[in-house]
């Protein structure tokens, strides 16, 4: 919240042409000793202390000291918090740094979304080492949508397609199996999904991609890779993306956190 007080102070200072207004910003004030140090420094100048402190004991200490030394103060956040409390009929949390925490969560989400896009569909296996979660499975097992859903939960997810003709990247066997999750599906449903996919692309549904025998071969290959890795295998048959992601999150948070 130090930025808030600084912005308001600069705006106020810009209204005065008779002299230069100097600003001294002290962020993350967390104890009474810091309050004492700030007030002691302010005593040496013609100072106004503008603050956004919400923790009651720190605010009380600041007001006690500034009253003792006759230093003007401006509570930038307090009146707004009190007005919102009155209108909503609820009590404020009075916790420091809540906005900063929200900002950090937002930027972690953006970073996770960018990560999911960059390392989607095996684009760059080097990203597996930096992922929180790695999804593996054959085509059309919801790897990409699940990755994006996890990203909105601030989880960096990469995904790797498993295709019999293409060797799985070596990086997949170098990372811990605890962050790898295999996705599988019933052959019949996958056959239907792939046929519909071909239709949307304007291709014939008889292509090898949607051939049941081919699908069985792919699923068998994928299962062998997953068993070699030793990762959990989640059946996504008739599961919504949210259900699959929730299962992964549950397993993820039960296990160790990875670096």
Known binding positions:
137-144
Residue 226: C-alpha distances to residues 21, 33, 189, 216, 221 (Å): 65, 57, 20, 15, 9
Binding residue ranges for ADP: 137-144
CA 119 to chain centre: 16
Q: Distance (Å, rounded) from C-alpha 118 to C-alpha 116?
A: 6
Radius of gyration of the chain (CA): 28
Q: Quick check: 69 and 39 in contact, CB under 8 A?
A: yes
Q: Distance (Å, rounded) from C-alpha 145 to C-alpha 100?
A: 29
């Amino acid at each position: 919240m130090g930025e808030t007080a600084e912005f308001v102070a600069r705006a106020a200072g810009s209204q005065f042409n008779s002299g230069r207004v100097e600003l001294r910003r002290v962020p993350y004030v967390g104890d009474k000793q810091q309050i004492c140090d700030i007030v002691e420094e302010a005593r040496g100048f013609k100072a106004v202390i503008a603050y956004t402190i919400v923790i009651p004991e720190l605010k009380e200490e600041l007001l006690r000291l500034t009253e003792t030394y006759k230093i003007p103060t401006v509570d930038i956040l307090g009146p707004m918090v009190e007005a919102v409390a009155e209108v909503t009929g609820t009590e404020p949390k009075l916790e420091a740094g809540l906005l900063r925490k929200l900002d950090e969560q937002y930027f972690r989400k953006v970073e996770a979304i960018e990560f999911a896009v960059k390392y989607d569909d095996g684009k760059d296996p080097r990203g597996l080492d930096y992922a929180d979660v790695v999804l593996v499975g054959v085509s059309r097992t919801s790897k990409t949508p699940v990755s994006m859903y996890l990203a909105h939960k601030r989880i960096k997810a990469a995904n790797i397609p498993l295709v019999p003709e293409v060797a799985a990247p070596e990086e997949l066997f170098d990372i811990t199996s605890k962050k790898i999750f295999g996705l599988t599906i019933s052959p019949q449903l996958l056959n239907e999904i792939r046929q519909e996919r071909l239709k949307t692309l304007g291709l014939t549904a008889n292509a090898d991609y949607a051939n049941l025998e081919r699908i069985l071969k792919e699923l068998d290959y994928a299962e062998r890779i997953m068993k070699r890795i030793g990762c959990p295998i989640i059946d996504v048959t008739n599961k919504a993306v949210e259900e699959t992601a929730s299962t992964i999150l549950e397993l993820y948070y039960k296990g160790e956190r990875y670096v």
